[in-house]
Every structure is written in structure tokens, then in C-alpha cells.
Amino acid sequence: MTITCHLRVLLAKANVERAKQGKPTLSLRSLAKESGVSLSVLASLHTGRSQRVDYTTIDRLLNYFSYYFTVSVDDLFVWEKPGQERVSVMMIQGVQT
């Protein structure tokens, strides 16, 4: 089982919204200041090296990003079953097992 954090995607979407508002781009450092989540935690989520995440961290990130767009836990974290990617590729190619 693999759980992936899509912090990069949310950060990019927030930067698009910020650009529309005429605000500067959001870096991990500024996200840490504005959201209250430590820079080290954000860096580990951003690089995919995090092993665990506190509920408080999830809450702070979702609250922060909800200012720019509708967001849920499913937007921040995605769970994929082992072999799920391989099965979908095989279905696209028309291969039956």
C-alpha cells in the first residue's frame, strides 16, 4: 500500500490563485509561516519522505488551502493499492490476465 502526499499539487494550485490576486508566489518557507506547520514537516511532505503526519498538521494545511479553493483530505493524500497502476495500464492496452 502506498500513500502519496500531493502537497506539491496544492502548492501549485495556491500559487495560481495567488497570481490571480496579484500576490507573490508561495514558497515552503512562507507556507510554514502562514499555516503554522514547521518547515521541516513541510519539506518532508513535499519530498515524499514523511513517515507519519499529525492530525493537527493535516488540519492546518487543509484550513490554509481552503482559503484559495475547496480542498479535502483526498486532495492532500492519495492511497493506491499495490499493483493498481499496473492493472490500469494493462486495461488501457487491452491486455487481459
The model's pLDDT over 12-27, given as tens digits with 9 standing for 90+, comes to 999 999 999 999 999 9
Residue spans of alpha helices (H) in the chain: 7-20, 28-35, 39-47, 55-65, 73-76, 84-93
Predicted confidence (pLDDT) at residue 97 exceeds the cutoff of 90: no
The model's pLDDT over 39-86, given as tens digits with 9 standing for 90+, comes to 999 999 999 899 899 999 999 999 999 999 999 999 999 988 877 654
CATH fold of the domain at 2-93: 434 Repressor (Amino-terminal Domain) (1.10.260)
Give the per-residue pLDDT at 93.
Answer: 52
Residue 38 has φ and ψ, to the nearest 5°, of -65, 150
| Residue ranges of domains in the chain | 2-93
Upper half-sphere CA count for residue 72 (Cβ side, 13 Å):
2
